[in-house]
Structure 1
Amino acid sequence: MRQLRIQLSTQNVALIAPLAFLALFFLYPLWAILRLSFANGLAGVWAVLADDYTWRVLGFSAGQAALSTILTVLVGLPGAYVFARYRFPGKELLRALAGVPFVMPTVVVSAAFGALLGPRGLINVGLQGLLGLAQPPLRIPNGLGLVLLAHVFYNYTVVLRMVGGFWANLDPRLEQAAAVLGATRRRALWEVTLPLLLPSLGAAALLVFIFSFTSFGVIVILGGPRMATLEVAIYRETAQLLRLDVAATLALLQAACTLAMSLLYTRLAARSAMPLDRLPRSAVARRPRGLGQQLLVATNALLLLLLG
């Protein structure tokens, strides 16, 4: 009997502890946001949602996230292909290095971008000394360009790992069969490989979009005072303007957008996990043959070293 009581007590603690954590760190903050949002009733919420500034901020958040996603996918897809289809020395080390930017603090990354690409950055100083120039040749002012570069730097590993991991298990004999039937390499890529990659590619792109949509530190440090995502607008309304009701309404708007995107991501991720006729990675990857393939591997390895 005593043993049964101890077991029930342990089960109660195991149940109550996560529920208490959820209530304290999720439900209570959510309730506080709702209370602040509706402090002035529905009229206050509607006033914020009807404000042009809110929709400008939302539009910029979505626009820069879309651009960041497109650039990240364009840069990441060749790397995903190289890591999926080729074996080369240092591959596992480079794969590990690809995850380093993802865990770096935004302050460190932003300062590094300034030290590397700024007017007195390493690249400009080196080019001035090499070419004898009086003015820095590379001028990238704080703004959208640096923000997009930083987002690509952060999120490259998402595409590399999610798409590359799925691609590495796809049977290359599918493309070979398409070639036997008369398809060119480009047509086989568009009509055979990409349709199979779409779930993982869509999930990776959506995850990059979510990370960029909720960006804060990169926007504040590299974007300049005129650029504001919803995260930055919430911070300004809270810390500078002290309009907590407006900040809470913006937070609710962002939470709704993020929840919708997260649900879509979950659905795409589940589709990318559907069983296919896949092979082990060791049976798919091969050594690069010819100068073109070697250059492709070397270029992507160099890019990954620069990003890492």
Structure 2
Amino acid sequence: MRRATGRRQLPEPLRAVNVVGVLAGVGFLLPLCWLVVGAFKSPNDLARFPPVLLPDPPTLENFRTAFVDQGFTGFLVNSMVVGLLSTCCVIGLGIPAAYALGRTTMTGRTSILVGLLIVSVFPVIAVVPPLFVILRAADWLNSYQALVLPYAAFNLPLAIWIMRGSFLSIPREMEESAEVDGASTLRTVVQVVLPQAMPGIFVAAVLTFVACWQEFLMALSFNTAADLQTVPVGISLFGGGFELPYGTIFAASCVALLPVVVIVVLLRRWIVGGLSSGAVKG
């Protein structure tokens, strides 16, 4: 008699899909690995053909050039300020909107959700010229608010959708119990609903911050002053008309990836839990 194993065997088609997924993942990681290795190579090693796999010897000169000669620290500070301010605006505005769309029977809810979905997929390049004219008229070019307000507007629809799904996954009986105990609507939302919806709120905050951190077109168009440029714009301006410092670009790109990698690696369980919460409701 065959002994039952504790692990269920996958069908052959699913095994093939897993193998393809692993190979695709390796393919996506290869450029990232080459980026990290290239950041520690000297210009001579980067110019070799055929290319060498490992730096010999490793050097930190590319990082020194990025931070000392190119002023990369300022770009990091600007990206951090813009990303955090935009994320706070999105979460602050998105929580009441998501709660209203998910927990109440407001009129026109479906139309609002469809409108938010359309806005979330609208091409950014189509609104850059009118936004530029508006910001110039308001004398907001070359300022933090020139990026914070558009970033918040473009990331708010997706955040509302994510947080709405998280609110929908919370049993209504919890709110009803709090109301029976005499809690007001505001107290019920703050002390009962929001703690249960934190995974979804956290995911919305992470996705918003990452989107703001890597956005390029609006940052290039609205902030041309060197002391207000963000990381993507700063990296794109490395070098001159006759030289492209690949090593410096690789080093700066590695540093720019660190916040995103740290967030995803350390908080991956929250991210997965927040994305899956409310997935079967809507």
Q: TM-score w.r.t. structure 2 length?
A: 0.75
- Runs of 5+ in structure 1 lacking a partner? 1-7, 120-137, 282-308
Q: Which secondary structure does the structure 2 equivalent of 1:251 belong to?
A: helix
Equivalent residue number for residue 250 of structure 2 = 248
Instruction: Provide the rounded CA distance (Å) in 1 between the counterparts of 2:131 and 2:61.
Output: 40
Equivalent residue number for residue 229 of structure 1 = 230
Q: Summarize deviations over 1:137-167 as a string: whole Å, max 9, x none.
A: x443343212111101110012211111111
Q: Which secondary structure does the structure 1 equivalent of 2:61 belong to?
A: helix
Instruction: Provide the rounded CA distance (Å) in 2 between the counterparts of 1:58 and 1:150.
Output: 19
Aligned residue identity for 2:162: M
> Going by fraction, where is helix more abundant, 1 or 2?
1
Equivalent residue number for residue 77 of structure 1 = 95
Q: Summarize deviations over 1:264-306 as a string: whole Å, max 9, x none.
A: 4532133336779x9965xxxxxxxxxxxxxxxxxxxxxxxxx
Q: Summarize deviations over 1:213-267 as a string: whole Å, max 9, x none.
A: 1121111111223222221122111576622211110111122222222234532
Residue 68 and residue 16 in structure 1: after superposition, are their counterparts in 2 closer, same or farther (change >3 A)? closer
Q: Summarize deviations over 1:83-132 as a string: whole Å, max 9, x none.
A: 1123345432321221233333332232231244542xxxxxxxxxxxxx
Equivalent residue number for residue 122 of structure 1 = none
Equivalent residue number for residue 64 of structure 2 = 47
Report the alpha carbon displacement of residue 49 of structure 1 after superposing the two structures with TM: 6.7
- Runs of 5+ in structure 2 lacking a partner? 1-11, 43-57
Over the aligned positions, Cα root-mean-square deviation in angstroms equals: 3.3
Q: Is the 8 A contact 1:37 1:44 kept in 2?
A: no
Within 5 Å, which residues of 2 pair with 1:96-245? 96-119=114-137, 138-226=138-226, 227-237=228-238, 242-245=244-247
Q: TM-score w.r.t. structure 1 length?
A: 0.70
Report the alpha carbon displacement of residue 208 of structure 1 after superposing the two structures with TM: 0.5
Within 5 Å, which residues of 2 pair with 1:11-22? 15=19, 19=23
Instruction: Provide the rounded CA distance (Å) in 1 between the counterparts of 2:239 and 2:92.
Output: 37
Q: Which secondary structure does the structure 1 equivalent of 2:171 belong to?
A: coil
Q: Is the 8 A contact 1:72 1:152 kept in 2?
A: yes
Equivalent residue number for residue 299 of structure 1 = none
Residue 140 and residue 231 in structure 1: after superposition, are their counterparts in 2 closer, same or farther (change >3 A)? closer
Aligned residue identity for 1:203: V
Q: Is the 8 A contact 1:206 1:265 kept in 2?
A: no
Q: Which secondary structure does the structure 2 equivalent of 1:51 belong to?
A: helix
Bigger drift between 252-261 and 58-67 goes to 252-261
Instruction: Provide the rounded CA distance (Å) in 1 between the counterparts of 2:277 and 2:37.
Output: 45
Q: Report the identity percentage.
A: 19
Instruction: Provide the rounded CA distance (Å) in 1 between the counterparts of 2:136 and 2:73.
Output: 32
Q: Is the 8 A contact 1:110 1:150 kept in 2?
A: no
Instruction: Provide the rounded CA distance (Å) in 2 between the counterparts of 1:58 and 1:89.
Output: 44
